[in-house]
Amino acid sequence: MASSDSPHLKGAWRIAAGIFLFLGFHYGSALWRLATRTGGMDSKFSQVAVDDYRGFLISQNLLVLVAYLIIGVVAWLVLVPMLSRLAAKWATSSRWKLIGMTVVACAILHGYFMFRLVDSRPYFTSDAAFGTWYYAVLELPPESWKPVIHLVLFKIPVWITVVGVTVWWWRQSGRLGRILMSTAALAVTATLGVRVIGVSSGGGAVGSGTGEAMNVIVIGSDSLRGDKLGYAGYRPARTDGDAGDGVSPHIDQWAQGAAVFELCRTPIGSTLESGISAMTSTYPHTHGIRQMFPTREEVEEMQQRTTPLAEVLANEGYQTAAVGDWCAGFFELTPLGFEKVSVSSFDSFQIYMSQVVFMAHFVVPMYFDNELGYRLFPQIQSFAQFVTPEVVTRRVEKMIEEQASREEPFFWNVFYSCNHLPYRAAEPYNRLFSDPDYKGPNATGVDFDIDAFIGGTDLEDKWAALPEEEARQIRALYDGCTRQFDDCFQRILDALEKHGLRDRTIIVLTADHGDDLYEEGVTLGHGLSFQGGDASYHVPLAIDVPGQGAPRFTESVRTLDLAPTIADLLEVPVHESWEGESLKPWLDDPDQATPLPFYGETQFPFIQFRVDGVKRPQLPPMDGLTMIDADFNHQFVIRPEFRKPLVDSKQRCLRTRDWKLVCTPTAGGERHYQLFHTKSDPASTKDLVDARPDVLAPMRSALERWMDEGEETLIGEMFPEGEPAGR
């Protein structure tokens, strides 16, 4: 390299000092934010973080110093050429002036990359910042101009700087320096060449069509309701501008060629348990995971009790994968037979704390959300704020591109967090359906107090007290989330079409559960109660089988029926342990459709909603029910003394075509029953338990047989002469 006597390099150490001051300020600010954030938390887990994981927090903050060091070196390599003339002039006479100028230059570069981040990865910036001036600036140009503007503002300047800096250092370098630079350039070129060759070799237009077996891709969004899609007849309150296309224009068009099951329900309204039920075709009481914080022993027992669809298909030669963001973390927590799992993790307390540290040091998401960053800090690929719906879609697009050259068929489950509380969709989805004049606390997402959620038991009262204006805004936010998922869905379809896989791929749309959205008799949340219309148990189910028709079914089905249906469509034997029914006979002959009974249970009791005339069993809030198991990857688990009481406190439900029976355990150990005629009373407001003993008796017998013995009774067995009508 060049001698330090070079006039251009005399101020290099002053420039390094300026960079050190700038980065030191950011590091100290991050530590301050972490300290004040921890102090502001008010749950038992914040104290656990301080008392039991202090050493881990310190180690993570020290690890981040590697990122600062890399940024500092790169900044030095860039700023020395930029400030070389000033360095030569001020190196001895105006040292502090040069240091100050370096700090200013660092601030300008940092601001530029912050602005670039807002354009390319807005999900890393504060949710509250949506709508501020820098978003407004980026939204000013017409959509058709944005690719060119992005190229001019954020691509060309970077490459010009890289080339200019490289040439400058080449001129300043001696023979050894040029050899080192040439070697590094050749290494980078070779690496890129290998990647390009790999991509091009896998980019053929004809994919698995070389084989006979169909591919399958299941696409879902957490909390997506079956009745909140356009093809189900839903229309948002706002219909002007881009909102006029509705919440799901792409899905609606796709569904015209798919078999649509208008009434599909999950046996439990909670992601982990519902996902296991769908992929293993078993009820929660069969697979054994009854709440979202299972122990290691419960997970191991579940694996012994069940045979997942992915395992069955892998044995038939299918390549299997589960891809998703933080809501898909259950695929990692509870392995379900998938060979490849690419999801983020949120239930590990260490992962959660590591994410808090890395996101406080904002240089990490700004400069290391790339292949280099993933190699240096592999844990960031598990962070919820790194693995967003956009990232998931890019990963699936890349997988489809790579799959195009392979002969083996694939089975993938792609699962998004788009519709999950607190409904914080990306810009512009978060304001697409809301009132433009709204200025309240739920502007970009539901105003959510995590401490109250973890440590309180009175959320029912707080949610019920929300004014109608806020409820409308929350529903509008939810609609924006659906529209974001709709765009992700379409990009997957486009990728399948582009690479010649669309005509050989069965596409399934579904979800894990829905959400209550302030309909009659309910507030927010999912799977916590069977009061109201059970919207949080109602999920979409549509299956597009290439070459087959597109019937619509109003008869009730369950997510339990998905695995046997897929196996049947692929002509793979349905496993004997599966409790669902294959719906393929319905697809072959719609006249065979007969309503299937729905049996369900409530999930982990974040809130025990009140039931008229019932004193419910008392349970502590979440931070009292759970603990952190250091021997189980620092996962949250239920405390041993609450595992049985939690299950015993669950509500259970049985629904036939037109009737609904709800069983609520009481504090005294009895069972309280409510009976509703859902055809005339969809919100379940009129209890007919005393008025209709002819309906109550067979349904109660069936529900108790399911609760106590795990045996399902079909509707025709309950009512051999047909369901009684309402009066």
Cβ neighbours for 598, distance < 8 A, ≥ 6 positions apart: 265, 267, 537, 556, 558, 653, 654, 655
Contacts 24+ apart (CB under 8 A), 36-42: 37/356, 37/360, 41/451, 42/451, 42/455
pLDDT on residue 41: 46
| Least confident segment among 84-98, 321-335, 499-513, 621-635 | 84-98
The more confident residue out of 640 and 43 is 640
Q: Residue for token digits 């010009």? A: 160
pLDDT on residue 398: 93
* pLDDT over threshold 50, residue 195: no
Token code pair at residue 64: 């981040």
Q: What is the mean pLDDT of residues 147-159?
A: 80
Give the pLDDT confidence of 164-188 residue by residue, as tens digits: 888 888 887 777 767 777 777 676 6
Angle, helix 562-569 to helix 271-280, in steps of 10 degrees: 30
Q: Do 293 and 334 meet the contact criterion of CB atoms below 8 Å apart?
A: no
**Highest mean pLDDT range out of 121-135, 178-192, 697-711?**
697-711
Q: What is the mean pLDDT of residues 653-662?
A: 97
pTM: 0.83
Q: What is the mean pLDDT of residues 5-25?
A: 79
Give the pLDDT confidence of 278-313 residue by residue, as tens digits: 999 999 999 999 999 999 999 999 999 999 999 999
Q: Do 587 and 543 meet the contact criterion of CB atoms below 8 Å apart?
A: yes
| Least confident segment among 37-46, 182-191, 577-586, 642-651 | 37-46
pLDDT band, very low/low/confident/very high, at 58 (cuts 50, 70, 90): confident
pLDDT on residue 222: 96
| Least confident segment among 187-191, 307-311, 429-433 | 187-191
Give the pLDDT confidence of 578-605 residue by residue, as tens digits: 999 999 999 999 999 999 999 999 998 8
The more confident residue out of 630 and 383 is 630
Q: What is the mean pLDDT of residues 456-467?
A: 70
Q: Whole-number mean pLDDT of the chain? A: 86
- The kind and range of the H/E element at 259 are strand 259-265
Portion of the chain with pLDDT greater than 90, in percent: 54
| Least confident segment among 28-42, 61-75, 448-462 | 448-462
Closest CA to 475 of 264, 263, 231, 243: 243
pLDDT band, very low/low/confident/very high, at 39 (cuts 50, 70, 90): very low
> How does DSSP assign 451-503, residue by residue?
HHHHH-S-HHHHHHT--HHHHHHHHHHHHHHHHHHHHHHHHHHHHHHHTT-GG
Strand 410-416 vs strand 319-324: parallel, antiparallel, or unpaired?
A: parallel
| Least confident segment among 3-17, 49-63, 210-224, 699-713 | 3-17
Q: What is the mean pLDDT of residues 625-644?
A: 88
pLDDT band, very low/low/confident/very high, at 209 (cuts 50, 70, 90): very low
DSSP assigned state of 294 = -
* pLDDT over threshold 70, residue 115: yes
* pLDDT over threshold 70, residue 90: no
pLDDT on residue 459: 67
| Least confident segment among 109-118, 170-179, 195-204, 244-253 | 195-204
Q: What is the mean pLDDT of residues 194-216?
A: 53
pLDDT on residue 661: 98
pLDDT on residue 191: 56
* pLDDT over threshold 50, residue 249: yes
Instruction: Determine the Cα–Cα distance for residues 4 and 74; give it in Å rounded to an integer.
Output: 18
| Least confident segment among 286-300, 336-350, 491-505 | 336-350
Query: 3-class SS at 612?
Result: coil
The more confident residue out of 46 and 538 is 538
pLDDT band, very low/low/confident/very high, at 411 (cuts 50, 70, 90): very high
The more confident residue out of 125 and 643 is 643
> How does DSSP assign 506-542, residue by residue?
EEEEE-S-----S-TT--S-SSS---TT-GGGEEEEE
**Highest mean pLDDT range out of 138-152, 187-201, 377-391, 604-618?**
604-618
Degrees, nearest 5: CA angle 295-288-555: 135
Q: What is the mean pLDDT of residues 96-117?
A: 85
Q: Residue for token digits 């591109």? A: 401
The more confident residue out of 96 and 107 is 107
Q: What is the mean pLDDT of residues 79-88?
A: 78
Q: Do 383 and 121 meet the contact criterion of CB atoms below 8 Å apart?
A: no
* pLDDT over threshold 90, residue 643: yes
* pLDDT over threshold 60, residue 70: yes
Q: Residue for token digits 């459709």? A: 593
pLDDT on residue 356: 80
pLDDT band, very low/low/confident/very high, at 408 (cuts 50, 70, 90): very high
pLDDT on residue 464: 75
Q: Do 422 and 463 meet the contact criterion of CB atoms below 8 Å apart?
A: no
pLDDT on residue 359: 81
> How does DSSP assign 333-393, residue by residue?
HS--S-SEEE----SBHHHHHHHHHHHHSTHHHHHHSSHHHHHH-GGGGG-TTTS-HHHHH
